[in-house]
Amino acid sequence: MIDVFFAHCRHTARFWPGGFFLSLILLAGGCATPQSDRLLASPFAHTPAVELTAVPFFAQTQYQCGPASLAMVLNWAGVPIAPEDLVPQVYLPERQGSFQVELLAATRRQGRVPYVLSPQLESVVSEVTAGNPVLVLQNLGYSWHTQWHYAVVVGFDMPQEEVVLRSGTEARHVVSMQLFEHTWARSGHWAMVVTAPPRLPETAEELPYLRSVATLEQVQRHAEAAAAYSAALQRWPTSLGAHIGLGNSRYAMGDLAGAEAAFRQALAIHPDTAVVLNNLAQTLADHGQLDQAQPLAVRATQLEPTNALYRETLEEVRRRAPRAAP
Amino acid sequence: MQMFRRLTRPVALTVTCFFISLSLHLPVAQAGLVPTDNVLTNTLTTPAHARVATWLGRDDVKAELLARGVSPDQVRARVDALTDEEASLLASKIDQLPAGGDSILGLAVLVFLVLLFTDIMGWTDIFPFTKKGSAKK
């Protein structure tokens, strides 16, 4: 995962003549567009053209394609925010640009789920077709003269082999699929979608999606996290992570009854799972139901005797209910 | 010698306070919920040394962002919104990561477009994919 973030950026020199000629040699042999070729040979090729014309456009000011692109996808996901308001959150003055990880961080600060797509053109097409514009990082130049740029993919026209982007100062920037693939491949095929819970990305996979939702808990956006976990349970009904996340975020909001319900549902599907037993015990204890909490806490420590957290939970339950202690 | 004895108490006190303050940052087992993260990474407890490293890493990122022009009143919220993984990535690779933001009207792109144009017109042969792309259909 982390490799995706920097695998493509080893060459940061602005200009190196040796690199220039080396690049030419490499390019001469490496001009293929495997993803476009594969896509155009697949059933995707027969899908009609799609364009999300209602995605808002913010023209970038100098160097600020990051805030502009992020504002477009955030507005689409229901956050009315202007690029200027995102500048202090993502822009790095000395580098005259924005980092990918800071776009992810700013998204969660707005209570939206940032989801990094798997690095395939098919993923981008699937998301756009499902109504999710895709924020992409491109290198418009070469490795020897990098030109990092963020843009938003809003449309595909398979018969014409074209991609439609909101890019820079152009509300509708149309490029050939092959040119898009070249510029996108040079960023390591980095792409993200922003969704408002309970909406899920079309191509979401269980663990990566839940990890992204868990980061909303880190920035105290518990209501949105709970909505996202609930939605995840619609798609993956037996997911342990989604059940725990739902319970934890309800607990963090002070909704102990809701948390208890989530953990009990988890226990029904995952009996004898120490995490569930511990979290349910703690929730019940905080709710004053110490008699019910104690056997659950005991069971958690029996399953994992070396876990310090479970032992501590059990001790706390016993401390609070001295009469029930053995 | 008298002076040395007089200093013993304050020095001992300072050293003790220092170690106590260090221990405050070390994770202590507490009752509570297992965080969602832990379930998703299959590690029920993060080793203490890893957490201390993360805590130091975040201070590093803060300093790096400040040094690159982020305003002091924004830097804390920005770093707090990063995951541990992202923070350590920024701390270790801040100058190698791509910072998307070059103006698309920049000189380099202009050169790129000019060369692309000359390629398409058949005057130069720099970008092999122009021919491949246009000959696609």
Q: A182 and A41 in one domain?
A: yes
Q: A29 and A140 in one domain?
A: yes
Q: Which domain-ending residue is among A163, A195, A227?
A: A195
Q: In this structure, are residues A114 and B103 in contact, taking their beta carbons and an 8 Å threshold?
A: no
Q: Which domain-ending residue is among A169, A195, A221?
A: A195
**Global ipTM:** 0.79
Q: A217 and A106 in one domain?
A: no
Q: A90 and A17 in one domain?
A: yes
Contact B72/A at CB under 8 A: no
Contact A150/B at CB under 8 A: yes
A197–chain B nearest CA distance, Å? 17
**Chain A, chain B: beta-carbon pairs less than 8 Å apart:** 215
Q: A243 and A161 in one domain?
A: no
Instruction: Measure CB to CB from residue A101 to each of B70, B90, B133 and give the nearest one.
Output: B90
Contact B38 A24 (CB under 8 A): no
Residue-wise pLDDT for A18-51, tens only, equals 555 544 444 444 468 899 999 999 888 888 999 9
Nearest CA in chain B to A20: B126
Q: What share of chain A in percent tops pLDDT 90?
A: 79
Whether the predicted pLDDT of B136 surpasses 90: no
Q: In this structure, are residues A180 and A39 in contact, taking their beta carbons and an 8 Å threshold?
A: no
Distance CA B83, CA B96 (A): 19
Q: A247 and A165 in one domain?
A: no
Q: Which domain-ending residue is among A145, A171, A195?
A: A195
What's the CATH number where A256 sits?
A: 1.25.40.10
Which pair of tokens denotes residue A265? 């549902």
Contact B102 A63 (CB under 8 A): yes
Instruction: Measure CB to CB from residue A214 to each of B40, B106, B109 and give the nearest one.
Output: B40
Which of A78-92, A265-279, B112-126 is the least confident region? B112-126
Q: A132 and A212 in one domain?
A: no
Helices (H), A60-163: 65-76, 83-90, 100-109, 121-129
Residue-wise pLDDT for B89-130, tens only, equals 888 888 888 888 755 455 666 777 777 887 787 777 767 676
Those residues whose C-beta lies under 8 Å from the C-beta of residue B23, and which sit 6 or more positions away, are none
Is A200 part of any domain?
A: no
A286–chain B nearest CA distance, Å? 10
Q: A62 lies in which domain range?
A: 2-195
pTM for the complete prediction? 0.78
Is A293 part of any domain?
A: yes
Is A191 part of any domain?
A: yes
Q: In this structure, are residues A241 and A210 in contact, taking their beta carbons and an 8 Å threshold?
A: yes
